[in-house]
Amino acid sequence: MDRLLVLVRHGQSEWNLKNLFTGWRDVGLSEKGIAEARAAGKKLKDKGFQFDVAYTSALSRAQHTLTLMLEELGQPGLPTIRDQALNERDYGDLTGLNKDDARKKWGEEQVHIWRRSYDVAPPGGESLKDTLARSLPYYMKLIQPDVLSGKRVLVSAHGNSIRSLIMAIEGLTPEQILKRELETGVPVVYRLGADSRPLSVETLA
């Protein structure tokens, strides 16, 4: 039984390129992001992977990344489930602001706390802990049972929603997950045991 789970952070978005806080704002992929998504699909194809089901967020940059990966995999019609439980964290009042401008307004230390603390949310937004509170139950209810039943599952989502899943899968502490960097368009491949713990993890950089 495969118990294959692949997590991919969407390709670079137009707002990633402009150094803006994006969150739930629905922006498209940049040209580089489109290339990253296609490259991710090619890497998965080169490894011989095929999938039974895909999950993605309610935001178009993750959905577009998935569409491009599936085209490269030769699986354009793969059954796909979309849900806002997998959305990026909501940056609240920071959404749309340039990160450097935000530092000028609130100070370097405060912006760093909002971006890199586990349980401190920006004004009107979500912390990583809040993101985990919606993405983890979704993973436990839908994604993990699919993987444990032997389905090969591909997830295209966002930096912080994927961090939440990695935290659960690998049993990381809040301190450990905050240090985990996730590059855009780079697949993280897990093989899970029957107890849901990872037997192996590989990053296809």
Greatest CA separation for the chain? 53
Q: Which of 10, 36, 126, 158 is catalytic?
A: 10
Find where tokens 């009107």 sit.
Answer: 124
- Size of the chain, expressed as the number of residues it contains: 205
In angstroms, rounded to a whole number, what is the distance separating the alpha carbons of residues 86 and 138? 8
User: 10 Å Cβ neighbour count for 181?
Assistant: 7
In angstroms, rounded to a whole number, what is the distance separating the alpha carbons of residues 135 and 12? 21
Q: Which of 36, 72, 88, 126 is catalytic?
A: 88
Active site residue 88: yes
Active site residue 31: no
Contact between 86 and 157 (Cβ < 8 Å): yes
Which amino acids are annotated catalytic?
10, 88
